[in-house]
Structures are given as C-alpha cells and as structure tokens.
Structure 1
C-alpha cells in the first residue's frame, strides 16, 4: 500500500492529457468547470473491503504578481486498520494561473510509512525551466520543460476545462507531466460513456483507461479504469485498479462548492 495516495493522484491526473487531435480550451471565467470554494472528498479502499483512508482536494482563489490564480490543495491520510501498520500523511499543492491553467508552483510533502519527501517546484515559462527545491536534502536543481507542462495535480483541473464532447471510443490521449524531477509521458484511451451507481445515485460518466507500466505496482498495462462525470463539472467519480498485490478503489464520498449542477439520474 506504499504510495497509495500518489497512485490515487496519478489515476486522477492522467485524465488531463492533451489529445493528439486538438481540443478546445474553455478558459474563460464563465466557462470554467470549477471555481474557488470547490471541495471533493474521496474514500479509498483496498481489495474492495478494507478502508485505507481518505483524500480531499480543495480549490481556493489567489493571486500571483497581480494575476488571478487558483491554489489547489490535495491531502490524504490513512485511517482505520490500515493506519495501524502503514501510516500515511500526504500534502500536495499546486498554484495555477486562471487564464492559462498552467502551474507556476507545486508543493509535495509526504510521509508514507517513514518514507518522506519535502519538495517545491517553480515553473518559469519565460525560460521553459523548472526549479526543484528539495528541502529534505537541501538541494536545488533546474530542468528543461515544455510550455505545455503540467504537474500531477494541476493536470486534473486542466483536463476539467477541456471540451470532451467529440471524443471517439478508442481515441488515444497524451500528456506531458513534470514529476520527480523529470518529464513523464502518459497515454490513455477513451472507453466510452457509462452510467454507474454511486452513493449519490446513478450518474452519467465518461470512462477512460490509462496505459500504465505493468510490474512492481500495477498488475498489467490495462489495470486502471477511471470514471468522470459527464457534465460541466467533469469531476473524478470512481477509480479502480488491479495492483500487483490486491486492488485499489477510490470513490467520491462528499463534495461542495461545485460550479455547475451535479446531475443524478432518478428512476421513474
């Protein structure tokens, strides 16, 4: 279960790939899929029955050098039986401009069973360079980036502001993400539309399957399935994965401050 929150954020963020065909960026204030004050809570379970913990993602309004921006915080903590033998306390933060939805600062502070990281990444688009500050080891390094780079948390919100209406089943989507001092290239496939049952009722969703590396963590390349709401919010609703040992599932457990109605299908 080590790094389970990282896996959760990876699952969520891989949805933010820029398509190999052009997608329209709806980055005007009136069309944003989210707003300051939004709060999402996910329940994470291991092997479908063991409560592993919870994670939350919260959006706040902020400014950077007089430019309007978002401060997004993702936190996770193990709970119940799982915390007795593997304690997790994670804090991910991203700061991104409202107009471009590009991150300018990323923070990662984690403690997972004694495995710790304390890092800050500063993105400079004038030089296309990322500065990684490692406070645990007191080091600072610089790395080249593209102008379209995202971090692991900002990518979720970049995706949510894309027009996914014209996706075709089997269409491949790609993203460049800067994480762990390097650029990672990910791919996923659109599986189609699906209605799933949740604690809130039946919800229309878009289903995706990211191509992940089989081996140490995942059982096989196509081990992960992700569902996001098929509405203007585009929030992650459910994530399932078959791991090398057991399985992992994350479900939306609570929410508030959505920018648009949360559509529930009511049976006649």
Structure 2
C-alpha cells in the first residue's frame, strides 16, 4: 500500500490529449479502494495560468488517505503540471508527496528547445539536469496529451499507443494497448467505455504491468472511469466519484 496515490496517478498518465477533450474548469474526483475498504481519494483539476509570460494550462492532482488507513498510514500527495495550450508539452512539473513517511518534493523545468530538464530536489537540496526524448511528457501531463490522441471513431482492438515519459530522473517508454469496447457500471449509470491495458518497458521488452486494466469514457471527453489492479493479495480499484466542467456531454446508457 506504500505508493497508492503515486501509483494511481501513474496509471492515469498511461492514457490520454486532444485539443478538444477538456477545458479550463474540468474537475474529476475518484475513490480508491483496496478490496471492500475505501483507502484514498484523488482529484484532477484544470485551470489556466501564466508561466513566464505564456498562457498555459495548469493541472493540479491531489490525493489523500481516508478512514483507518489515514490513522496508520497517512498519505498526502500533490502533483502539478504546466502545459502548453497548443502542443500539450510540459514546461514545469511539481511532485510533492508524503506516503506514510515516504517523501519526495521535486520541481522539473522542461526546455523543449534543447531537450533538457532541470530537476530541483527540495528534500535533498540538489539540482541536476538530464536529457530527454522529443515530445516527452511528465507523469501528469501525459494524461492530457493522450486523451486527444485517441480517436474514438477509428480506434481498433489491439491498437497500441506509445509514450515517452520522464520522472524520477529517468526516461521511460510506456505502451498501452486497446483491448476493445466495454460497458462500465458506475454510480451515474451504465457508461460506454474503452478498455485498455498498460505495459512498461524493462530490459528492452514490454511486459504486462501488474495485471492492470483501465476504462475511459467512449465519448469526446475520454475521462477515466475505472482502473483495476490485480495484486498478489486482493485488488486495488479506483472509480470516478464526482465530476464537473466537462467540455462535452457525458453520455449515460439508458435502460
């Protein structure tokens, strides 16, 4: 349970950016469960901001433990990314987390003209610079980048999507495969969904990642509806609990 919220945000970053999928004011809230127990909540919010004279999207992701878990394993996570309005490229990324005493507090500054990123580690008082691949995303901006990559009218089962990502001082290659259309039962009703499975590249080979499956809405919003991770003992699920400010209609299947 050590990295529940960090894991949650990484899972969502494996999907998702089109310039028409979201807008300022979008807010999504999720409940995270381990088995039958509510363990955490998480949210994603889109705002507008001015960064060094440029108008950008400012996305804030937060997560915290609840219930009994909060008494014995307190989690307080905050992620922020500043991304360009045109290409959806990250300019600045903040990761400030505390998960049962496991802490990280880093700021990343991306320079896409040189493909270099400056990493300021506030916990250890260090500053380092690294190379990154063209069109690289941070672990939060990737969600908004990929959402518009997927064309809901043309996507086919078995289709794969690849993504370059930089976090924790390293470059990563991720791949996610479309498993097919599905229907998800939610608190809002039955929702038409797209079902995916992420893979992580290790030793030059893509391997299935923790038996993960996730679903996004099969509409122009393409928002995450559910994620399920089958663990060695039990399963971890995250489900959409509240939302507002969607750019497009949220479609519910009527019986």
- Partner in structure 2 of residue 78 of structure 1: 65
Q: Where in structure 2 are the equivalents of 1:202-221 lying within 5 Å?
A: 202-212=190-200, 221=209
Task: State the distance in 1 between where 2:209 and 2:5 align.
Answer: 20
- Is it true that 1:148 corresponds to 2:123 in the alignment? no
SS at match of 2:9: helix
- Partner in structure 2 of residue 172 of structure 1: 160
How far has the Cα of 1:81 moved from its partner? 1.2
1:212 touches 1:223 (CA, 8 Å); kept in 2?
no
- Which one has the bigger strand percentage? 2
Task: State the distance in 1 between where 2:42 and 2:150 align.
Answer: 27
Superposed CA offset, 1:48-100 (max 9, x none)? x0110100110001123433210000000000011122110000000001111
Task: State the distance in 1 between where 2:77 and 2:150 align.
Answer: 31
- Partner in structure 1 of residue 48 of structure 2: 61
Q: How many residues align?
A: 249
The unaligned stretches of length 5 or more in structure 1 are: 17-24, 215-219
- Is it true that 1:263 corresponds to 2:251 in the alignment? yes
Task: State the distance in 2 between where 1:2 and 1:246 align.
Answer: 15
- TM (norm. structure 2) is 0.93
- Partner in structure 2 of residue 230 of structure 1: 218
The unaligned stretches of length 5 or more in structure 2 are: 203-207
SS at match of 1:127: coil
Task: State the distance in 1 between where 2:201 and 2:91 align.
Answer: 28
2:160 touches 2:177 (CA, 8 Å); kept in 1?
yes
- Partner in structure 2 of residue 45 of structure 1: 33
CA RMSD of aligned residues (A): 1.6
1:212 touches 1:222 (CA, 8 Å); kept in 2?
no
Superposed CA offset, 1:206-230 (max 9, x none)? 100112489xxxxx64610010000
